[in-house]
Structure 1
């Protein structure tokens, strides 16, 4: 079965260019030119990755991303934007995107990012097939074989990146992991300037856990060093 990727952008030239590069890699491509069409594909197709432009008619990429996460759709999202400001990048990641690229971008670099995301998903699935390991930290149960996290017996909806970060931190409770180490382990790339990306995902994960735990903060920031989980 071919890997299916949705490219959603109101710029047809960009869609055609990205489609050409990704089809050459053997992926099955769907294309959308507005947010409403993208949302329809997300609901109807079995997608391995969604590439979302932020500025689209009908519904912008941030809204599509938010709807996906609110509906418990954890398909990885690569966000595209013509805005290079850190606040826009942070907003995309806070909404639930897994990665972010600024236009104009090199299609070869985008292809590399896509491969890295899909490779991470495949490694996770391979691990799931060879292990039914569960990590238990207090009321938090992380079931890697089924990609489910429960807190006090209630399921917690996490994005792929949030799940992977939580599993990494929980694998060694009390150990402090640096931003660089987390990024390189999770995103499988060199961690050049990756601290903000990790910070935003940690912030999202911390907020979800805090809400599920009735206000308890279990992910600690060790300033200048990194992050750890502790209950």
Structure 2
């Protein structure tokens, strides 16, 4: 069964290149060149993936991200940006993009990122049969089957990548992971120079689940090495 992909990109050459590459992954791709029309389409029906340019006429990619993440329905978002500053990349992640590519990008990297996002969603939708249904640590509860997270019984809204990152930590309490290990095991690829993607996601997770993100109870920094999950109920 083909996956439905929406590409919102005003550069027609890039849009057609993306469409061609994703067609090779058995994707049914629709291309829209205007931000306002693209947002309307993304809200009108579910897609398996949204490939989104940052700079668009009408409504920019950041606003589209923000609007989509305010909805209950989740759609994985791969953001494309011609800007090279870290601030622009972090802004995209802060608004809810799952990943990003900086133009110009190689088609091999594009395909690798898309495959990684599809694998991530597949794992979340179809967890292993022997996996526990929930993990609890102090006031934090992760319902794996329903893909829901609560802190002190209050629901926490996470993107698929944030959920997978938190689940990866919680399933391995006490184990220290470097940024490159997390890129490989959670994002599904290893590329030097993308470690700040891990930092941004961890900062967002802490802001959502920690009482005091500066003194985290759950996701702790191991200086000079990486991060670990402390199961507070067992300390």
TM-score (norm 1): 0.91
Task: Determine if contact 1:129/1:145 at 8 Å carries over to the other structure.
Answer: no
Structure 1 residues 174, 131: closer, same or farther in 2, change over 3 A?
closer
Which runs of structure 1 show a deviation greater than 6 angstroms over 4 or more consecutive aligned residues? none
Structure 1 residue 112 displacement after superposition: 2.2
More deviation in 120-129 or 142-151?
120-129
1:187 matched residue in structure 2 = 187
Q: Say yes or no: does 1:148 pair with 2:148.
A: yes
2:206 matched residue in structure 1 = 206
1:6-45 superposed matches below 5 A: 6-45=6-45
In structure 1, stretches of 5+ residues that fail to align are: none
Task: Determine if contact 2:124/2:147 at 8 Å carries over to the other structure.
Answer: no
More deviation in 65-74 or 160-169?
65-74
2:95 matched residue in structure 1 = 95
User: Partners of 1:107 and 1:177 in 2: how far apart?
Assistant: 29
In structure 2, stretches of 5+ residues that fail to align are: none
Query: Which structure shows the bigger proportion of residues in helix conformation?
Result: 1
User: Partners of 1:29 and 1:45 in 2: how far apart?
Assistant: 14
2:121 matched residue in structure 1 = 121
RMSD: 1.9
1:47 matched residue in structure 2 = 47
Q: Say yes or no: does 1:82 pair with 2:110.
A: no
TM-score (norm 2): 0.89
User: Partners of 1:54 and 1:65 in 2: how far apart?
Assistant: 9
Structure 1 residue 79 displacement after superposition: 0.6
User: Partners of 2:96 and 2:129 in 1: how far apart?
Assistant: 26
For residues 42-90 of structure 1, the C-alpha deviation after alignment (integer angstroms, 9 at most, x for no partner) is: 2122211111100001110011111222324432111101111222112
Structure 1 residue 128 displacement after superposition: 5.5
